[in-house]
């Protein structure tokens, strides 16, 4: 007990010395500025003044410093959150699980053979990769949408007389030399196709052509 009491006394003495030590000039200047701003606001709005320096919490952040941190965090969040997805994909696909019947993407899925690229709203292009029948007897198509910065890969299946999205994933857009539509497919999309395939084989070009001409009936 005597050792604990002695250690406690020593700690109190050390903390007292720390409390007596002057703050760094830069920190003191920020605190003085914050106090002045608070005093101005008090005169105008009858706001309670800031507490004296010796009663402020040890880890209280000065107002000016807090504002700076908020600004930096806002800048970082804004930059990381503003990376755009391909605009055609966002407008026609991500807004709903069902592909709008009047969208260019619906025309791709409903009327366009695999391997044929079409334009989406002037901001992206889309290409069907393959077609197949799933385990429920519904027809599905794997396709890719290429924007300026990234590519969207997806699988959509026929349901309730429209195309419904099953899986969507993004990857970096190909750069440089020509890249086939089936390249750089995310693993999640490959896994979705494997899961949905009924007999393990996609439709042949002739089978796909017949179904397109028959409206996928």
What does the pLDDT look like over 185-215, one tens digit per residue? 778 888 888 889 877 789 999 999 999 999 9
169 pairs with which residues across the strands? Answer: 153
Contacts 24+ apart (CB under 8 A), 183-190: 184/151, 185/129, 185/142, 185/144, 185/153, 186/153, 189/142, 189/153, 189/154, 189/155
Whole-number pLDDT of residue 64: 44
What does the pLDDT look like over 53-83, one tens digit per residue? 444 444 454 554 343 333 322 322 222 233 3
What does the pLDDT look like over 113-172, one tens digit per residue? 999 999 877 778 889 999 999 999 999 999 988 877 777 888 999 998 889 988 888 777
pTM: 0.55
CA dist., res. 120 & res. 105, Å (int): 7
Whole-number pLDDT of residue 16: 55
CA dist., res. 18 & res. 130, Å (int): 72
């Amino acid at each position: 007990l005597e050792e604990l009491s002695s250690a406690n006394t020593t700690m109190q003495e050390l903390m007292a010395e720390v409390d007596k030590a002057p703050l760094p000039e830069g920190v003191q200047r920020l605190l003085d500025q914050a106090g002045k701003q608070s005093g101005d606001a008090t005169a105008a709005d009858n706001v309670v003044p800031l507490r004296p320096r010796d009663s402020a919490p040890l880890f209280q952040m000065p107002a000016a410093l807090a504002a700076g941190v908020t600004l930096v965090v806002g800048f970082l969040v804004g930059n990381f959150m503003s990376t755009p997805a391909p605009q055609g994909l966002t407008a026609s696909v991500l807004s709903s699980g069902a592909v709008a019947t009047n969208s260019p993407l619906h025309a791709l899925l409903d009327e366009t053979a695999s391997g044929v690229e079409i334009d989406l709203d002037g901001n992206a292009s889309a290409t069907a990769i393959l077609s197949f029948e799933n385990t429920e007897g519904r027809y599905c198509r794997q396709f890719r949408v290429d924007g300026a910065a990234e590519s969207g890969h997806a699988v959509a299946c026929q349901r309730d007389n429209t195309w419904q999205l099953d899986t969507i994933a993004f990857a970096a857009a190909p750069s440089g030399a020509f890249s086939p539509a089936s390249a750089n497919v995310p693993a999640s999309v490959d896994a979705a196709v494997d899961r949905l395939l009924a007999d393990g084989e996609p439709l042949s070009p002739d089978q796909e052509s017949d179904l397109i001409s028959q409206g996928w009936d």
